[in-house]
Chain A
C-alpha cells in the first residue's frame, strides 16, 4: 500500500498531501508492524484478559457461573496445599536465579574481558546446549540422578557408596539443579552485553588512581554491569516459577510446583476459574518478587559507588 504510493508522490498536490501522510514515518512504521502487533494482541493479551476474567468466576460442573467472586483467590492464598506450592515455587525460582547469575557472571566476565577475537565463538559454544530440547535436557538429569542412574552407578563403581542413594532424585534439590543447568546459558547473554558496555578506560582510571584489582572491580565494573545482572535475574526468575516439566520429571512428591497444580485444574480437576486464579496469583507474586530484586540490586549498586 505505502510502497505503491511511493512512485506517484510528486504527481498532484492533493494526492501528494495524502501521500505525505501515508509516507510519514509513524504511519508506515505502524502499518508494517500491525499484523505482528495484532497477532500478539489476539493470542497473548486477549487470552490473559480471559484468564483474569475467569479467575473471578465459578465452575459448576460443565458450566461457568459468571457472577463476580473472590472465592478462588481466597482458596489460592489460604488453602495450605496451594500456599505451600506457591512458596516452594517462589523459593525454587529465587534460588535458581541466584545460582545461575552467580555461576554465569564469571563466564560473561571472562568472555567480555579475555575473550579476545573468539568472543562470538565462546558465546556460540555456551548457547548451543540451550537450543536443544528443554524436555531432553530435563530427561538427561533424570538419567543422571535416578536410582539406577549415572551418578549412583558411577559412585558405586568407584566404591564411594555401597548402595544407590535415593537422596538424588525426586526432591526440590533435583529441581533446583536441573533448572540451574537448563537456564545457565540464558543468564550469560544479558550480563555479557552489559559488561561489553563498561568503559574500559574507567577501570584503568580506577587502577591508576590506586584502586587494587578487587577494589576497582567492586567499585567500577560490578556496579556498571548491574543492569545486566538485573535482566539476567528476571529472565530466569519469571519463567522458572511456572515450570511444569522439571518438577514433573525429577521433582517427585517433594518437588511439585504451582504449575503442576494449575495444569491439574485445567485437566483432571476441571476447575478453570481456580486454575485461572492460581495463574494470576503466581504472576502477581513473582512480579512483586522481581520488583523487589530490582530494588535490592539497585540499592547495592548505589552503595558500591
Chain B
C-alpha cells in the first residue's frame, strides 16, 4: 500500500539500480581482465592467461622510484592534512563563532574548483617565491585537496561527541592532556585513522596537482601518464593500474568501516542520541 503510493515502483528502480552499478563498475573491470591477458593489445577475444606483466613490474627501476615517491608523498600528505583536518573539524563541530560558515566554505572550496586552476595558481606562487619544484611542493598541493575530505570524515566522527564526558574527566582531576589522551582520543581514533587512509588514497591516485607541481621526480600516476604514450607499455600499465585499484579499494573499505564505527561510537556512547 505505502509502496504503491509512491511514484516509480521499487521493482523497476532496482533493475535500473543494477544496470547503473554495472555501468559504474564495468569500465574499471577491464583493467584487471586485460592485465592477465597474453595479448599486448587490450581486445577481444582474450588470448590466454599470464602473470608475465606483473612479474615484469619489480624489474622496472623507474617504477620502483615512482612507488617510493608516492609512498613518501602519500604518508606526508595524509598526516599533515589529517592534523589540519582535526583542528578544523573540532573547531567546526564544537564552537559557534561569527565567520564559521565562511571559513568552512573556504577550506572545502578545493573540492569544487577545477583542479587545473588550483594547480596552476599554486605553481605560479611557488615559482614566484623561488621554491624549486619537488616532492615537497607536491605534498603542499595534496594537503590542500585532502583537507576537505579529511574534514568530511572527521566531522561525521566528531559530531554528537558529548562534551560532558570531557568535563567529567576534568572534574575528576585529569589534566587537559590526560583528558585528551584518555577520553577524547579513544572516541575519535577510528575517525582519525579513517581520515589518514582516505587522504593517503587520494594522494596516491592524484594526478593533476602532482603533474604540475613536481620537479623531476615522478609519483605513480605521473609514471603511468608517461607510459601511456607507448602502446607497447600498455600491459605493464594495466597491471600496475590493477594493483593501484586494488590498493585504493582496500584502503577505502577499511576507511569506511572505521568511519562508521566512529560515528556509531560517538552517537551511542556520547548519550546524545542514545
- Which residues of chain A have a CB within 8 Å of any CB of chain B? 3-4, 6-7, 25-30, 32-33, 35-37, 39-41, 43-48, 50-51, 54, 103, 106-107, 109-111, 113-114, 120, 122, 124-126, 128-129, 131-137, 139-141, 143-144, 146, 148-150, 152-154, 157, 181, 184-185, 203-204, 207, 213-214, 216-218, 221, 234-235, 238-245, 249, 259, 262-263, 266, 272, 275-276, 279, 282-283, 286
Contacts and interface: CB of A to CB of B under 8 A. Distances in A.
Contacts of B20: 103, 106-107, 126, 184
A44 B85 contact: no
Contact of A30 (B13, B30, B91): B91
Interface in B39-97: 41-45, 84-85, 87-88, 90-92, 94-97
A273 B40 CA distance: 44
A299 B249 CA distance: 41
Contact of B114 (A109, A122, A150, A239): A239
Nearest to B234: A143
Interface of B: 2-8, 10, 13-14, 16-17, 20-21, 23-25, 27-28, 30-31, 34, 41-45, 84-85, 87-88, 90-92, 94-100, 103, 106-107, 109-118, 120-125, 128, 140-141, 143-144, 147, 170, 175-177, 180, 201, 204-205, 207-208, 212, 221, 224-225, 228, 237-238, 241, 244-245, 248-249, 252-253, 256, 260
Nearest to A236: B112
A114 B205 CA distance: 33
Given A36-B147, A40-B144, A133-B241, 20 more contacts: A7-B170, A7-B176, A26-B97, A32-B88, A36-B84, A37-B106, A43-B141, A47-B121, A120-B260, A125-B21, A128-B253, A131-B201, A131-B249, A139-B237, A149-B43, A150-B30, A181-B24, A242-B117, A243-B116, A266-B212
Contacts of A3: 176-177, 180
A276 B20 CA distance: 39
A101 B43 CA distance: 32
Given A43-B144, A106-B16, A136-B241, A131 B248 contact: yes
B101 to A, nearest CB: 12
A46 B125 contact: yes
Contacts of B175: 7
A140 B113 contact: no
Contact of B27 (A131, A181, A242): A181
A93 to B, nearest CB: 9
Contacts of A129: 24-25, 28
A129 B113 CA distance: 21
